[in-house]
Amino acid sequence: MNNQPFAWGPLLCKMQVEDSVLNDLLWETKRGDEEYNAEANLVATMHDEWSFAPKTIDWFQKSITEHVQTYLHTLSYHLQAAVLSPWMVSELWINYQKANDFNPLHDHSSDLSFVLYIQVPEELKTEKERYNMVGKGPDPGSIIFTFGELRYPFVHNQKTFLPERGDLFIFPSTLRHMVMPFKTPDIERISVAGNIRFIE
């Protein structure tokens, strides 16, 4: 008997980014400069979101080129067709998530999107352990990717992660995702998100 299992759907990749890039992104933030306030353009309930200057976007694009190329090569393998078009980072912003902030289910209007976690407080692990003793469902502060409209028997259409520092997720911009809130006061989780557009 020749058993060949198949699963299909969007390609979601999780990779690791080195500390030097994470630290430089924090250094380059325009936090507090109203010219770069990104809150009005985003769907999150967060009130502390800021865009990056064009020169920083250019530098960041070079910093993640290897990761994006890995994603595109993997996508080409799964599709059995070359997906190696020239690309550019078209938007880049930073999120400072605090207690009770969340990001509702949404997608992006581009080709690929990404989320990179720069700072993940240790207190979130303690909250996760506390929550798991009394609660059900996604962990506080987790990011959830979901594909398809409904849950069907024998189909797993969600992937949930509790991110750690340096985690980079790359995925199709049409893949819907959401960020769960946490309750621990006086901490910030910092992430950078953005979009990638194929030039051709």
pLDDT in tens, 119-128: 999 999 888 8
Task: Name the pTM for this structure.
Answer: 0.91
Q: Is residue 66 part of a domain?
A: yes
Q: Could you give the dihedral angle defined by the CA atoms of residues 63, 67, 72 and 73, in that order, rounded to the nearest 10 degrees?
A: 120
Q: What's the rounded Cα separation, in Å, for the pair 50 and 37?
A: 5
Cα gap 137→12, rounded to integer Å: 21
Query: Domain range spanning residue 50?
Result: 13-198
pLDDT for 12-65, tens place per residue?
999 999 999 999 999 999 998 999 988 887 776 788 999 999 999 999 999 999
Nearest to 106 by CA among 46, 176, 3, 179: 176
Domain count, the chain: 1
> Cα–Cα distances in Å, from 57 out to 35, 37, 67, 84, 90?
16, 16, 15, 21, 8
3-class secondary-structure state, position 135: coil
Question: Looking at the domain assignment, is residue 93 inside a domain?
Answer: yes
* Residue 50, domain member (yes or no): yes
Indicate which CATH number applies to the domain containing 93. 2.60.120.620
